[in-house]
Amino acid sequence: LAKTTQPISMDSYEGQEVNITCSHNNIATNDYITWYQQFPSQGPRFIIQGYKTKVTNEVASLFIPADRKSSTLSLPRVSLSDTAVYYCLVEAAGNKLTFGGGTRVLVKP
């Protein structure tokens, strides 16, 4: 059964870099890895998406090793407003879209 695993929580301080790793051993060959951010009482919001190697946009970077069995979301210089739950989403073998359990990131002043 496909399983997407990520740490339950992590704390950080303003200005630091936060790295969240998601494990997805059963990722489908042709599918992408997508990360979402969710604030309380809101729907998830797209952060970044990638297929392999490294992708960077204005808010984050995504690192994907060659075997694609994991991915790491990197949030540079976090601020208090980055406190949220972060989810990875993959399409696992068997075409099952699977969200990770979410990582609750708390940014402290």
Partner 1 sequence: DAGVIQSPRHEVTEMGQEVTLRCKPISGHNSLFWYRQTMMRGLELLIYFNNNVPIDDSGMPEDRFSAKMPNASFSTLKIQPSEPRDSAVYFCASSLMGRGGNEQFFGPGTRLTVL
Residue ranges that bind partner 1, judged by CB under 8 A: 28, 31-32, 34, 36, 41-46, 49, 51, 87, 90-91, 95-102
Q: How far is the CB of 35 from partner 1 (least distance, A)?
A: 11
Instruction: Return phi, psi of residue 99, to 5°.
Output: -85, 145
Question: Which is nearer to partner 1, 82 or 91 (by Cβ)?
Answer: 91
Which one, of 103, 102, 83, lies nearest residue 12 by Cα? 83
CB 16 within 8 A of CB 82: no
CA gap 43, 46 in Å, rounded: 10
Q: How far is the CB of 97 from partner 1 (least distance, A)?
A: 5
Question: Which is nearer to partner 1, 4 or 70 (by Cβ)?
Answer: 4
Q: How far is the CB of 62 from partner 1 (least distance, A)?
A: 13
Instruction: Return phi, psi of residue 82, to 5°.
Output: -85, -5
Question: Which is nearer to partner 1, 96 or 108 (by Cβ)?
Answer: 96
The length of the chain is: 109
Q: How far is the CB of 8 from partner 1 (least distance, A)?
A: 11
